[in-house]
Structure 1
Amino acid sequence: MATIPLAFILLKDARLPDQEALIQSIRGRHPDLQCSRSAAVLSDGATRPMLIPVGNHTLTIFLVPEPVPSDQQLWERASRLWPEAFRAAGRHRAHLAIAVMDSAKSNAETKELGFAERTLLTTALVGAVLAATPGVVAVIWDGKVGRSPEMWLERSRSAFAAYPDQPFALWTEIVPYRSGKTIGAYTVGLSAFTGREIEFEVDGLDQDTVTARVAQLSAYFIATGLEDGLRAARCSKPIPRSIIASWCSTAIRASTSGRSSHSHPSMTDRGDAGPTRSFPPQSPGIIRC
């Protein structure tokens, strides 16, 4: 599994955030985080990163004056929750690469962050960068999940919230599909936390129910780890309906798709496409429920 999550902030124009505005954004959104001004001074056109000390770690921001490589599948997944995803991504001309690194001054008493802990801190700081940077059109989390800046600004405020209120929808995708009369769903991005993805397929359930169950399992595994989660017969706390609703994409309009009102716009139909088109992708790293 990866140890350092990476976020890309997609921009209309190539620019770094103002350092003072960023520090004020961090302090305003997360008062418990101790941050300070960086001694590094960037000249015009410099390729060095902006470094902001945050506690015993360092917020690292690289400006890349070109678009990220096109990823059709990423934006297709994102459009299930965010119908304007393709259009928004097409407007970006540069991006920021955001990561939280261990400070060079860390001593033996400084606790090294695991992936989940580093995710929480990175999520909080990405939200602060968004609030201090004009012209943001989209955010990509760990190369797999695309979300709107509005969703990131709202959800990242809860970066350090305990289960079930952590903003797991920023880190993972839930992709619904249909196989004959059976509706299922699988995750993208959960494996970064647990080493496994989830595939859930049960006859007789509608999409909202399937999506809600996968969301609940995802949040629980992120909070408890895979081994503890698998030992639990069920989650001890329900996911709040507001969070489940964010995954249930029945509200996404299909007015531009030309589909029948009986065909869900966010569903991928397995049909009889054969082994070359398997949804979800078959992998030994999938937990099948």
Structure 2
Amino acid sequence: MSKSFLALVLLESPATPDMVALAEAIRARHPELPVEVEGGREEGARQGSPLIRCGNELVAVMSMPAPVPEDPGLWSRASTIWPQAKAVAARHRGHLIVSVLGKNQQLLPTARLTTAVIGALIATMPQCCAVVWNGKVARPADLWLDMSSRSFAPYPGYPVSLWIDILPFRSETGIGAVTMGLSEFSEREIQFETHKLPLATLINKVDGLAVYLVEHGPVVKNGDTFGGSAHERFTVRYRNSDQFGGLPVFFCIDHAA
């Protein structure tokens, strides 16, 4: 499976990144990653080049002197855990487009690398105020700055919550949670419903399954069980969600329900 991700870094005012400073910040934050400004030696690098080489990959960082397109649903979802989201979106005036180039990108390594570059951008550009990941998930810049330092951490320590939302909802059985953004890694979202589990436990179960699917891809088959122990295991069913407009989901319900 191959794919690239598109990330938008929102800016309070339009600005063009200093690619040499960006390379230095990536090296400082991720010493294990070879980095160079594309176009030759950094002393003579063209200031206008939008490309930086990280390991064997080219990453494009393009400056856009305009706000991102309006998406009320995105910012409403973000506001559930980030109350200032809509205000930040309303006042930004420019953005950066960040993407790994190439046709044969592997999902998780591409997400890790893109995240590392975005963290370094935020570290070098005080104008950064938010990040929109692949059109699905919006997070504040300070959270990205912190969590992106773990871009290359071993499983399960990398920052999946920057890439995937877990949104609670009311269901016929009680409460539920649905993911947004997981399908980019595993072809489906998760919809988990319960009438017995507390919300924190429910979110923890969804998060555990989501991280597993990000790491391994769509390996959970229709009818498989998942969980930390025999007592905690639940069944995963393939379904098109009745509650979320036919969204393809891994539908889960705890056995107690």
**TM-score clears 0.5:** yes
Equivalent residue number for residue 158 of structure 1 = 150
Partner of residue 176 from structure 1, selected from 148, 160, 168? 168
- Deviating above 6 A after TM superposition, structure 1's stretches of 4 or more consecutive aligned residues are none
Aligned-partner SS, 1:58: strand
| Distance in 2 (alpha carbons) for counterparts of 1:202 and 1:281 | 20
Do residues 286 (structure 1) and 253 (structure 2) align?
A: no
CA contact under 8 A between 2:36 and 2:53: conserved in structure 1? yes
CA offsets per residue over residues 14-64 of structure 1, 9 Å max, x none?
111112211110100001111112326246xxxxx5111112111201111
The sequence identity of aligned pairs, in percent, is 38
How well do the aligned residues superpose, as a CA RMSD in angstroms?
A: 2.3
CA contact under 8 A between 1:220 and 1:235: conserved in structure 2? no
* 1:6-21 aligned within 5 A: 6-21=6-21
Equivalent residue number for residue 141 of structure 1 = 133
Equivalent residue number for residue 4 of structure 2 = 4
* 1:57-76 aligned within 5 A: 57-76=57-76
Do residues 233 (structure 1) and 196 (structure 2) align?
A: no
CA offsets per residue over residues 86-145 of structure 1, 9 Å max, x none?
111111111000011149xxxxxxxx5311211111111111111111211110000000
CA contact under 8 A between 1:91 and 1:137: conserved in structure 2? no
| Distance in 1 (alpha carbons) for counterparts of 2:127 and 2:137 | 20
| Distance in 1 (alpha carbons) for counterparts of 2:174 and 2:225 | 26
Aligned residues between the structures: 235
CA offsets per residue over residues 215-262 of structure 1, 9 Å max, x none?
1111111112221587563258xxxxxxxxxxxxxxxxxxxxxxxxxx
CA contact under 8 A between 2:173 and 2:193: conserved in structure 1? no
Equivalent AA in structure 2 for residue 204 of structure 1: K
- Greater share of strand: 2
Equivalent AA in structure 1 for residue 227 of structure 2: R
CA contact under 8 A between 2:2 and 2:105: conserved in structure 1? no
Equivalent residue number for residue 236 of structure 2 = none
| Distance in 2 (alpha carbons) for counterparts of 1:227 and 1:219 | 12
Equivalent residue number for residue 178 of structure 2 = 186
CA contact under 8 A between 1:221 and 1:229: conserved in structure 2? no
| Distance in 2 (alpha carbons) for counterparts of 1:203 and 1:63 | 48
CA offsets per residue over residues 155-186 of structure 1, 9 Å max, x none?
11111112221111000001110125600010
